[in-house]
């Protein structure tokens, strides 16, 4: 077993453990964990079959997920609605391990890992993590108004991830990366619907 293969197997194990602990999250998180385990077992194939779209997807999605983690952490400290808190926990639990998984792919492919930007990838939703977080500092300190603004910002952020993932589904070559993109589309569309319902109930 190569060092990269071992690392991906450990990551997949963490994904599965997180899915078990967070049974209340979207079922798509479980699907992602199961698929990641399959991808880890066949990491040699994943590392050999990839193209520029796969690299751009991983390099762009890593910092995009990092932005979501920053937003989730903010909600865990400042949100008042328990449903928003639950959603932030699910986002944190799902996207952290996915960052590790995509980082492992880039290392296997011999490609640089981007962080803190979009890796040159235009996701069609305003231009990257810095843009998505730009207005977060102006949010109310806490309470219902914060919850509404956070949900609005996270919906926009999720829309960007769905667009990026669809590009990977259409243009990618790596089976593992395409499967992850499909799970991201499924999971984040489910979360968008959940957040929109919450917004409607909160008057946002």
Residue 79, CA distances (Å) to 49, 89, 94, 99 in order: 43, 12, 19, 24
Q: What is the pLDDT of residues 97-111, one digit of tens each?
A: 999 999 999 999 999
Place of tokens 């300190």: 141
| Position with higher pLDDT, 46 vs 17 | 46
Query: In the numeric block, which tokens belong to residue 70?
Result: 């920053």
Residue 203, CA distances (Å) to 43, 145, 148 in order: 46, 10, 8
Q: What is the pLDDT of residues 116-166, one digit of tens each?
A: 544 434 444 444 444 455 556 667 678 899 999 999 999 999 999 999 999
The whole model's pTM is what? Answer: 0.73
For 140-147, the CB contacts below 8 A with 24+ separation are 141/78, 142/78, 142/79, 142/80, 143/80, 144/80, 144/81, 144/202, 146/78, 146/79, 146/80, 147/79, 147/80, 147/81, 147/84, 147/198, 147/202
CA gap 49, 44 in Å, rounded: 9
Of 180, 51, 63, 47, give the one whose Cα is nearest residue 119: 63
Domains of the chain: 3-202 (1.20.1260.10)
Percent of the chain having pLDDT more than 70?
A: 64
pLDDT value at residue 171: 98
Q: What is the mean pLDDT of the chain?
A: 78
């Amino acid at each position: 077993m190569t060092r990269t293969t071992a690392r991906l197997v450990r990551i997949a194990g963490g994904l599965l453990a997180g899915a078990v602990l967070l049974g209340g999250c979207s079922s798509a998180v479980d699907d992602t964990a199961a698929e990641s385990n399959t991808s880890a077992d066949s990491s040699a194939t994943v590392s050999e079959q990839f193209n520029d779209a796969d690299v751009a997807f991983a390099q762009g999605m890593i910092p995009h997920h990092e932005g979501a983690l920053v937003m989730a952490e903010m909600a865990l400290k400042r949100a008042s609605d328990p449903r928003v808190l639950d959603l932030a926990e699910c986002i944190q639990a799902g996207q952290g391990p996915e960052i590790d998984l995509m980082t492992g792919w880039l290392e296997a492919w011999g490609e640089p890992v981007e962080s803190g930007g979009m890796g040159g990838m235009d996701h069609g939703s305003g231009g990257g993590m810095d843009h998505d977080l730009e207005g977060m500092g102006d949010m109310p300190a806490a309470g219902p108004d914060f919850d509404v603004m956070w949900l609005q910002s996270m919906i926009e952020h999720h829309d960007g991830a769905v667009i990026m993932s669809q590009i990977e589904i259409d243009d990618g070559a790596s089976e593992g990366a395409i499967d992850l993109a499909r799970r991201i589309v499924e999971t984040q569309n489910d979360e968008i619907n959940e957040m929109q319902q919450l917004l409607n109930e909160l008057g946002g």
